[in-house]
Amino acid sequence: MKRILVIFTGGTIGSKAEGKSINVHDSGSYALLEAYRNTDEVRKDVELSTLEPLNLLSENLTTEDWRTLAVAIRNADPGSYDGLIVTHGSDTLAYSAAMFSYLFAGGGVPIVFTASNYPIADRRANGLRNLAGAIDFVVEEALPGVFAVYENDRGEMLVYLGTRLAQCESFTDQFRSPYDLPYGVMEKRRFVWRDDVRNPRPDTLLGRLKVELSAPLPWEPENLSLDDSVLYIRPYPGLNYSLYDWSGRKPSAILHDLHHSGTATALPGGPYSLPAFIERCKAHGIDVYMSPLKDASAALYASSHALIEAGGVFLEGIGMEAALTKLIAVYGLASNAEQARTWMTEATFAYEKMGSGVDSEGAGTDEN
């Protein structure tokens, strides 16, 4: 008999619709589990336990809520279960999956995030199928790490690595991953790995249990700190950097998104100049990182070189959601800014990097 802990956090998968309003409901999460037990998908070889440390719509999620959830998971003793499933709102699921990949890097059991596109009572909802797929993944595969399981609009039950999930799209309600490359798919209730050089082989994940793991970000329940002063900026024509004023509280670090070609405005000066903004941030002791960038060793546009010369740091091969959550975790847990910079640029966790031949549990190996 497999033992799985189902952790409720609210979200659409734990919500109820009343008229034209959708909100979390005290009984919504448990109604999900009761509905699963009444489906043909229910497994008789699984014992499900429950925990509800949060009950909110995921758009209202804060770093303090992440802390609450992380401490609840740590205190629940994950190793005493065959796996954990976190039901979550779709709006911020990609961020949470990445965050918990960093906080629980090196964990020995699967932690699987899942969600629903509509409240469970809605006939269009995929939440029950997603829950069933997550349970099947835990029972049949038992791969260690953090994952997300979600059915797409073609009826495919896709499995993603937690650090390789992009935010749910506004118009399609679909999740994607860099290169449109999920980790695999559930077929006939079994996991089928997506064979690609950029995906770590399942036996690589299992092998992590037999070797000494690279140290994950160190934290204990009593000292877990996540930095809410990280700022994210997305480029667009006419972005006026003079609107950012550090006369009050300043950010500890900035993640500046990039256009698909790895560029952003590189005017030599003035309010629209990112190089000038980076230099101003440096004068205030603010680190500026830039992502995503596929390959820093490839030929770069002159504008990209200008950003580097100004002091910006490219985070290569990592998606925006993973880069942002890593910054929040690293700048909260590092003992000083220099250690934070080292962790951001030299330490890799949870297969965050998409480049071929790069093992995200130890940069530079060929295990991927």
User: What pLDDT was estimated at residue 210?
Assistant: 46
Q: pLDDT higher for 293 or 325? A: 325
Please check the confidence at residue 217 and state whether its pLDDT lies above 60.
Answer: yes
The span from the CA of 327 to the CA of 233, in Å, is: 13
Q: pLDDT higher for 107 or 56? A: 56
Alpha helices in the chain (DSSP H): 28-37, 63-75, 93-103, 127-141, 202-207, 274-283, 302-310, 320-333, 337-345
Mean pLDDT score across all residues of the chain? 88
Contact 320, 342 (CB under 8 A): no
The span from the CA of 98 to the CA of 322, in Å, is: 5
Say if 2-210 and 230-345 have the same CATH topology. Answer: yes
User: What pLDDT was estimated at residue 212?
Assistant: 37
> What dotted CATH number matches 230-345?
3.40.50.40
The span from the CA of 317 to the CA of 353, in Å, is: 5
Please check the confidence at residue 216 and state whether its pLDDT lies above 70.
Answer: no
| Homologous superfamily of the 2-210 domain (CATH) | L-asparaginase, N-terminal domain (3.40.50.1170)
User: What pLDDT was estimated at residue 39?
Assistant: 87
User: What pLDDT was estimated at residue 10?
Assistant: 86
pTM of the model: 0.91
User: What pLDDT was estimated at residue 297?
Assistant: 67
The pLDDT-based confidence of 253 (bands split at 50, 70, 90) is: very high
Listed range (36-50, 72-86, 106-120, 285-299) with the worst mean pLDDT: 285-299
Domain ranges for the chain: 2-210, 230-345
Please check the confidence at residue 305 and state whether its pLDDT lies above 90.
Answer: no
Please check the confidence at residue 158 and state whether its pLDDT lies above 60.
Answer: yes
User: What pLDDT was estimated at residue 96?
Assistant: 98
12 is catalytic: yes
DSSP class of residue 336? S
Q: Which string of DSSP letters, residue by residue, matches 138-193?
A: HHHH---EEEEEEE-TTS-EEEEETTS-PPPPTTT-----GGG--SEEEETTEEEE
| Range 171-197 average pLDDT | 95
Give the end-to-end CA distance of the chain in Å, rounded to a whole number: 32
Catalytic residue among 9, 12, 87, 114: 12
| Range 95-112 average pLDDT | 93
Locate tokens 């059915």: which residue?
151
Contact 55, 24 (CB under 8 A): yes
